[in-house]
Chains A and B, each alone.
Chain A
């Protein structure tokens, strides 16, 4: 959604700087989602796996 409103539909945010910054956040999130690994998660010691997967 963030990438769409930032880079694709320019009518929603008609300020390029704002669109680029928001788009950057969106792209980062997308990369993390595709990789399935977030370095910040390990730094923060967050694990969103369910208990069974953790046990494995």
Chain B
């Protein structure tokens, strides 16, 4: 049952219950008010009769004696009767009463409740009250017809009770409808919001991994039924981490939004695009064959050709797309995700823009994944060593300068060449930290050599990604100031391993470094 209906029925139920209780109590109040007076009167009468019965030479209970008592203590219209068990022994009354019917009605009423003080006999309503005589064998009952005025009041009250009941019910229905509608609307909105939050990325508004997995499962079922292939793209932005670190997270967030918007523009309505986290996106292309997949991948790559302009800073961003196709590459969601991931690293390494999953490349990719995993730890724990290549002046045959070279010895895979791990560091956004580590180590060594009488210069490689970081000159200055080194002894070599994001920005930083 829907929440709205539940609230509606709950409020209506409470109203009905309140109405029933109110009606019952009000009606009982009307009928009992007279009955209570009679009961008090009967108790008094009972005491009188008891006293008389206990007097010496007392009179036995008879109809004549009962008549006397009635005339003495009650009203002319009242009826006094003595019962023994359920049998009526004597009746004292001026009016004609069908004793048989009265007995039946009275016994029914008496059995129902000893407090029910109004009974209807042949259309005439009687109040009644009861008292037991001291010997417990006999019961004294007094009946008095309800006066016309009382009947009219009771009737009017009954109608007013019914009317108020109907009106309250009518109002309650509307109140419950309004309340249930308002509450359920608010809850529905909250639920929708929570569901959206649970299944969508807050930055780009795109579906997240959970929703993508759900859609992927649906696509698998549909593809199984229709025997049609579909494709899964996994893509990430090349060197996004570097952009994020150098230009700030806000810039990175804006870039992600723009990238997602461009990818969306390349999609059909039936396609799904999701942000899996960081700079990683996924695209699900249902009912798409190899040709359609290539077309779509190229379209996405073309959409990234135009530079992104954010806050007057222009930057280029490329994506690497890994593609897995159902059923050629895998038939389960997990397999397709994994293979698309492998293909993505393949595309990144080959810089081809996109790559289909190739089982032969899987092993190579596993090595790369392991290296990427370990490189972070190596940089963060300062495990990258600095080696120096001397530059000798031919005329003097003396070493005048050294070139600082970063070397990484992997505990399992042995020496890793800079050609392999430097691009990785650039992609993973570790290049800035690595550069500072190399620079600090070089200056420390240079300072030590100077103490020993070797006054040398040092060349340090600087990635173009570092040239996007406006804080770089100040931080280099800070490092230099820690050692007694003249800034002219340091030379930076700018590597050309990557495209420069923003040439004018890089120019400014180079000028500051020269200064």
Residues of A within 8 A of B (CB): 13-15, 17-19, 21-22, 25, 40, 43-46
Whether B156 is near chain A, meaning CB under 8 Å from some CB there, is yes
In the complex, are the beta carbons of A25 and B156 less than 8 A apart?
no
CB within 8 Å for A15 and B177 given contacts A22-B163, A25-B170, A45-B185: no
Q: State the majority secondary structure of interface residues on A.
A: helix
Nearest residue (CB) in A for B171 is: A25
Chain B interface residue count, CB cutoff 8 Å, equals 15
Nearest residue (CB) in B for A25 is: B170
Nearest residue (CB) in A for B161 is: A18
Whether B167 is near chain A, meaning CB under 8 Å from some CB there, is yes
Whether B155 is near chain A, meaning CB under 8 Å from some CB there, is yes
Q: Which residues of chain A have C-beta atoms less than 8 A from B185's C-beta?
A: 45
A-B contact list, 25 entries, CB within 8 Å:
A13-B163, A14-B156, A15-B156, A15-B159, A17-B160, A17-B163, A18-B159, A18-B160, A18-B162, A19-B163, A21-B163, A22-B163, A22-B166, A25-B166, A25-B170, A40-B174, A40-B178, A43-B181, A44-B174, A44-B177, A44-B178, A44-B181, A45-B181, A46-B177, A46-B181
Shortest beta-carbon contacts, A-B, top 5: A18-B163, A15-B159, A18-B159, A44-B181, A44-B177
Q: Which residues of chain B have C-beta atoms less than 8 A from A25's C-beta?
A: 166-167, 170
Q: Which residues of chain A have C-beta atoms less than 8 A from B177's C-beta?
A: 40, 44, 46
Distance from A5 Cβ to chain B, minimum over Cβ atoms (Å): 11
A19 to B159, CA, bound (A): 9
In the complex, are the beta carbons of B163 and A14 less than 8 A apart?
no
In the complex, are the beta carbons of A21 and B167 less than 8 A apart?
yes
> Which residue of the partner chain, among B160, B164, B178, contacts A43 with CB atoms under 8 Å?
B178
In the complex, are the beta carbons of A14 and B167 less than 8 A apart?
no
A42 to B178, CA, bound (A): 10
> Which residue of the partner chain, among A13, A40, A43, A45, contacts B159 with CB atoms under 8 Å?
A13
A47 to B155, CA, bound (A): 40
A14 to B157, CA, bound (A): 11
Residues of chain B in range 163-184 having any CB-CB distance to chain A below 8 Å: 163-164, 166-167, 170, 174, 177-178, 181
A40 to B273, CA, bound (A): 43
Distance from B15 Cβ to chain A, minimum over Cβ atoms (Å): 15
Nearest residue (CB) in B for A43 is: B178
In the complex, are the beta carbons of A14 and B178 less than 8 A apart?
no
A46 to B474, CA, bound (A): 66
A13 to B163, CA, bound (A): 10
CB within 8 Å for A14 and B159 given contacts A25-B166, A25-B167, A44-B174: yes
List 9 additional A-B contacts (Cβ < 8 Å) besides A18-B163, A19-B163: A13-B163, A14-B156, A17-B163, A18-B156, A22-B163, A25-B167, A40-B174, A44-B181, A45-B181
